[in-house]
Amino acid sequence: MVQALVLERPWNKYTSGSLANLKPRVSFVFHTEAANVQLTVGADAALKLLLTDIPRQTIVHPRYGYPGYGKWSRNADRVLIYDHKATAGELLSSVEGIQGRPLLIICWPGNPVENENLMTSESLTALSVRFDVVIDATYLSIYTETFVDLCRQAQHHGLLVVFSLSKAVGIPAARLGGIVGDPNKLKSQKEVEKFRWDLFQSAVAECAFSEAGIQILSAHAGRLGELASKIRIALHNAGMQTYAGSGNNFVSVPLHGKNVAHFPSSHFQGKLYPDLNLMRLDCNNHNLELIRAMPQASPPGADMVLS
């Protein structure tokens, strides 16, 4: 995939250091205005900007997600941490009596478990009235209709969406990310404008948002989604449960009941969360083959998917 992208770029042409030609193409893919796209050096730089560089009195973030939530929230006067099963009503109650607009981070589709209770239109409408809402969508491929729909919701509800181009392209080391949403909500254009991509980063991005690049990466996102579905089906066929809402590059598996006999295992590729009693499996053919080799169970029921 990376080789195909590289071949698409006319390397005898200069790249634009100002990214002026790139942002319109990014906004076209995201179905939003160019002014609503801010590009950063990796998604973590976007999160750091929102959590640290712009002063916040109160920050509310999930217990799990990206480790930077806690690290970059330390400068806030008040930090509230919520469980992934929290409802919009519970979050609104938690900030009663607090002055100003707290910053709320929602990790979607979750890492390693989702915040599905907060992602309904009704919840987002209620939350956006009281909070400055940031949706961390770094584990969601930008080449999916789900991401485009999220950008539409961002415009409708006045949200900010953090994305990762690096993960979608398959080159995490490229450090490509950004924010979609109303630029006025960032409150500090100077902080955003200080980020500049180097030649390599700009060239990768140009490849990714070329006409051919979009086709290549959209197809890749589709294949990855199909692989995630096959892994979930294989796990259920082995009588094992999974969490709903896992990203298209991982599947989260609770470690209880029959699951304990198979996870964690050094043979599987993924990440163990001991305090959550959960294994986040990478979506790849290696894990799929191992799961398919497990003893098969009777046809699973509807209770095989956990919320």
Tens-digit pLDDT string for the chain (307 aa):
555 545 555 544 544 545 566 777 788 888 888 888 888 888 888 898 888 877 788 999 998 777 788 888 888 889 999 988 899 999 999 999 999 899 999 988 777 777 778 888 899 999 999 999 999 988 888 888 888 888 888 888 889 999 987 776 666 666 788 899 887 776 544 444 455 666 667 677 777 777 777 777 778 778 888 888 899 899 888 888 887 655 667 888 888 766 666 665 668 888 888 777 888 888 889 999 999 988 876 554 444 555 5
Q: Is 20 part of a structural domain of the chain?
A: yes
Whether residues 43 and 69 fall in one domain: yes
Q: Which of residues 176, 209, 242 is at a domain's end?
A: 209
Whether residues 153 and 168 fall in one domain: yes
Whether residues 180 and 271 fall in one domain: no
Q: Can you list the positions of beta strands (E) in the chain? A: 37-41, 58-62, 78-82, 103-107, 132-136, 160-164, 176-180, 242-243, 250-254, 270-273, 278-282, 305-306
Whether residues 55 and 156 fall in one domain: yes
Whether residues 57 and 203 fall in one domain: yes
In this structure, are residues 247 and 140 in contact, taking their beta carbons and an 8 Å threshold?
A: yes
Query: What crossing angle do the helices spanning 145-157 and 22-30 adopt, rounded to 10°?
Result: 90
Q: Which of residues 153, 188, 209 is at a domain's end?
A: 209
Whether residues 48 and 192 fall in one domain: yes
Q: Is 304 part of a structural domain of the chain?
A: no
Q: Which of residues 194, 209, 224 is at a domain's end?
A: 209
Q: How far is CA 182 from CA 79, 114, 258, in A?
A: 24, 25, 47
Number of domains in the chain: 2
Segments forming the whole domain that contains residue 219: 214-295
Q: Is 119 part of a structural domain of the chain?
A: yes
Whether residues 219 and 245 fall in one domain: yes
Q: Which residues partner with 58 through β-bridges? A: 78
Q: Is 9 part of a structural domain of the chain?
A: no
Q: Is 23 part of a structural domain of the chain?
A: yes
Query: What crossing angle do the helices spanning 145-157 and 121-130 adopt, rounded to 10°?
Result: 40
CATH code, 31 = 3.40.640.10
**Whole-prediction pTM value?**
0.78
